[in-house]
Each structure stands twice: as C-alpha cells, then as structure tokens.
Structure 1
Amino acid sequence: MRCRYLQGMQISAQERAATRPSRFAIGTRTWSVVRLVGALAILAAVTHQLIVTVGNALAATTPYGSHIPTVVANFLSFFTIESNISAAIVLIVAAIWGLRVAGGPSEADPVEPRALAILLACVSTYMIVTGIVYNLLLRGIELPQGSTVVWANEMMHVVGPVLLLADVLLAPRRRCLGWGVLGIVAAFPIVWAVYTLIRANLVISPRTGETGWYPYPFLDPTHVPGGYLGVSGYIVGIAVAILTVGAGVIWLSRRRGR
C-alpha cells in the first residue's frame, strides 16, 4: 500500500484545518505530554537500576567484582538498556516538537520531520522486540546486572514497550515512511550483536572473574546447546522478529501517516 499522499489524496493545509482543527491540536499536545512523562519514567527506571548495580559493585569483595568501569560498561551493553535510553531521548525530542507545533497556527498542520519519524520507527521496533524477547525467553532469569529492581524491570520490559506500541498506533502527525527505512531499523541490532560477541571474550565477568561476559544467556555459547551454532539460531530468530516488527511499524506509518 502506498502512502496516502501518493494516492491523489493530498489536500491543502486550509482544508485539513477546516476538517480537524481543535481535536488534532489537543491530541498533539496531550500525546506530547504522554511521551514526556513516559520518557522520564523510563530514564528513572534505568537510573535506579544503574544505582543499584553500581552499589552492588562497590560492596563486592573481589577486584573483578568491584571494577566500576567494567560494571558500568556491562550495564550499558544490554540491548534493553540501550533501547530504553534511546527511546527516552527520542520521545523527549518528539514531545518537544509536538508541544511546539501544537501551540502554533492550526492551518500549518505539519507532520513529524522525516528524521524524527525514522528515529521513532527504530526505537519503537527495538522496544517492542525487547518486550517480546524478555517476556518469552528471559522472564524469571536473573540477568548479570546486579540485583534486579522490580519496578524498573517492569518499566523497561513491559510498560516501556507498551508505550512505544501505543505511540505507533495512536500518536498524531505521523509521517508515511518508505520501505527502505527497514534497513535503517535493522542496522543497530546487527552492530550490537557483532559488538557483543566480540567484546564477550575480551571482558572479565564481574561475577566469576573469568573471561567471557554475555548480557543474555542465549548468547553464551558455553550455555546454549550447540555452542555458536545454537547462538546463531537465537540471533537469526531475533533478527526475524526485528524485521517483522519493523515492517509492521513501517506499514502502520504508511496506513496512518501523510
């Protein structure tokens, strides 16, 4: 399905304003506040978990367990953490943009900038996949980031992903994206997977003192049946999930956007 403005449905700004002036503006302002509050809650969750993780490291009695630079680097190497931080930043930018245009003349009726639309598509995909993977594969498993903060864990793995899904479905002023954006969406997870597998054998685990630190058990060839072949299977499965969710996000932008 092509974007609506490519289907001969483009209308003037005055006509758009005449059909939906106040509701559109109120929706933009309201959703911008939702985005801002959600972003701040996500950042609070990440910060609380980081404080607890660093606190555990400071209380550790071994040199490898108390090495703060490694502990912090490991914390920031979780796909969940990177996705949540990125999502919060993009949501804040989107909220600021939305509040600015909502306060402007209704006849302007702009859609979100292309760069912002692409960033929203990326972080929405990553957060939705984070929620799916965690709740299907990792719930109930203690991850190597120190003691889990329950509310922060739920915020990053459930509430945050649901918020980004709602953003895809409900946010006003969405831009129609081309299918080529799917390649941009897939770029970061590929880089992250390569980085993680290379870095793993260069890092000493703060828990064991041995070389080989993996943020998630399904990436550790010493624990996955089949070794690296088994790990490859998980990576392919997650890649399919990212491409599928990313395609869905883009498809919705083409249905809803202009």
Structure 2
Amino acid sequence: MQRSRGWASGWNAARIAVAALILVAVGTQLSSSVAEALARGRDVATVIANFLSFFTILSNVSSAIMIAWLGVRFFSRGRRREVDPPALATALALVSTYMIVTGVVYNMLLRGIPLQPETVPWTNKIMHVWGPLFLLLDVLLGPTRRRLPWSAAFAAAIFPIVWIVYTLLRAPLITNPTTGVPYWYPYPFLDPNTGGWGSVAVYIVVIAVAIVALAVGVVAIGRARGIRMPIDPTPATRPVH
C-alpha cells in the first residue's frame, strides 16, 4: 500500500516523539532506582547492572534508538519515501518483535505483581504498554517497510537466546540488593528457586517459540504491505551512436 508523503512525514515525526518518550521513561526509572539504592544503602553499581539486564529495558532502548534513527533519516534525506535499507529493515523487524513480546509477557505474566517502591508508575506504562503498542502499530501502518526474507524471522531468536544464557549464568553470582538473597533473576518465571528448573525450561521454550512466531508474523505483514517505490516517469536517455 502506498502512503502519501504527508502520511510518511507524520508517522516519522511520531516515531521520533515516541522514541524520546521511551528514553525519558527509561532515564526517569533509572534515576528513581538509583535514588532508592542510595537512600537505602544498596550497591548502586549492582542496581544499575540489574536495571540494564531487564529484557524490557533492552527492548525499549533498542527500539527507541531504531525508530528515532529511521525518523531522523527520513527528514534528513528530504522526506523521500525510500524503502528502508535491508540492515535497518531487519533491525526494525527484530526490535518490533521484542517490544511486542515485552508487552505480551508483561500483560500475561507480570501485570499482577506488585510494583517496587522505586517504580515510577507512568514509566512502567510507557515501557510495557504504550511503547509496545506503538511498535505494533508501526508494523501495521509504518511507511517504507521493506519486504524481508523469511530467514529474518528466525534471526529474531538469536538475541533472546544470548540474553537468557547471560541471565541464567549471571543470576547465581549476584546478591539481590533488595532482599539480600544470594541470587537475582529479573523475572520470577526465570527463577528456578521458585518453580524449579522444569518450570523455567517450559517458560523458555514457550517464549522462544512465541518470539519466532511473532517474528514470522512481523515479516509476513512486511512482505504483504512492503512498499514498491514508483518508477521514475522520466525516460532514460539513450546514447547517441
């Protein structure tokens, strides 16, 4: 589906605005977490490292950088409705998938968990609800999406696998700065001390399958509505013999 230049301009302006809002939310929450750590005498370096180890934070920051990049690129190139370059298109599809997963997992598994005292409620909404919703809308409505090969969907599993391995290796080495227990897991469903390794394995498999399935959906939508740029009507100049 072709979109007008006005539509593309409006959507890319929205990308920049949402990216700024996400980054402000992340920064505000980090400041609140550090302030709480200082007030309670917790190890600030550990608190910051833990904060940056949440899949939510990583997906929000990466998606904000990506949509801001695309928005700035659009305006810096004279608002030309060019199809996204392959590398940027692939990265956008991946971060879109991760943000949608963040929204789904939060609303299905984590919404009922009481917020920590340092959690700023509006930042929680931005990172878990409104940010993921915008990235979903970007998949459905965003201009200049490129048609990607199906292999891009399977590449979406790489980062979550690396993150899970990192999380499970690091967790037993970290003392929880809030409770003092000798481990720290970012999410309850990854903690074997709660439900055992069998439960953790089931959650990992289900989430991995869901990520690939969502990535397939993102790529499928992109292939269905990938923009074909109009052909330049100016006839090519033939060489004179």
TM value normalised by structure 2: 0.90
| CA displacement at 1:99 relative to structure 2 | 1.6
Tell me what 1:7 maps to: none
Is 1:230 paired with 2:199? yes
Gaps of 5+ in 1: 5-19
Deviations 1:55-106 (A, max 9, x none): 1100114xxxx111110000000000000000100011110122234534xx
Question: What does 1:143-158 align with in structure 2 at a 5 Å threshold?
Answer: 147-158=118-129
User: Which residue type is aligned with residue 178 of structure 2?
Assistant: R
Measure the CA separation in 1 of the matches of 2:138 and 2:70.
11
Tell me what 1:221 maps to: 192
Tell me what 1:16 maps to: none
Measure the CA separation in 2 of the matches of 1:103 and 1:130.
31
Tell me what 2:44 maps to: 68
| 2:23 equivalent among 43, 54, 77 | 43
Tell me what 1:33 maps to: 13
Measure the CA separation in 2 of the matches of 1:26 and 1:102.
12
Question: What does 1:67-216 align with in structure 2 at a 5 Å threshold?
Answer: 67-104=43-80, 109-142=81-114, 147-216=118-187
| CA displacement at 1:221 relative to structure 2 | 0.6
Deviations 1:120-170 (A, max 9, x none): 1011000001000000100021366x5211100000000000000000000
Measure the CA separation in 1 of the matches of 2:177 and 2:47.
7
| CA displacement at 1:245 relative to structure 2 | 0.7
Show structure 1 runs of 4+ deviating over 6 A.
none
Measure the CA separation in 1 of the matches of 2:16 and 2:82.
20
| CA displacement at 1:27 relative to structure 2 | 1.5
Aligned residues: 227
Is 1:55 paired with 2:35? yes
Measure the CA separation in 2 of the matches of 1:27 and 1:185.
29
Measure the CA separation in 1 of the matches of 2:191 and 2:74.
42
| CA displacement at 1:210 relative to structure 2 | 2.5
C-alpha change, 1:198 and 1:221, in structure 2 (3 Å) is same
TM value normalised by structure 1: 0.84
Measure the CA separation in 2 of the matches of 1:155 and 1:26.
27
Tell me what 2:232 maps to: none
Measure the CA separation in 1 of the matches of 2:205 and 2:133.
24
Gaps of 5+ in 2: 228-241
Deviations 1:176-212 (A, max 9, x none): 0001111221110010001000000111110122321
Does the 8 Å contact 2:154/2:215 carry over to 1?
A: no
Tell me what 1:242 maps to: 211
Measure the CA separation in 2 of the matches of 1:252 and 1:57.
44
User: Which residue type is aligned with residue 52 of structure 2?
Assistant: L
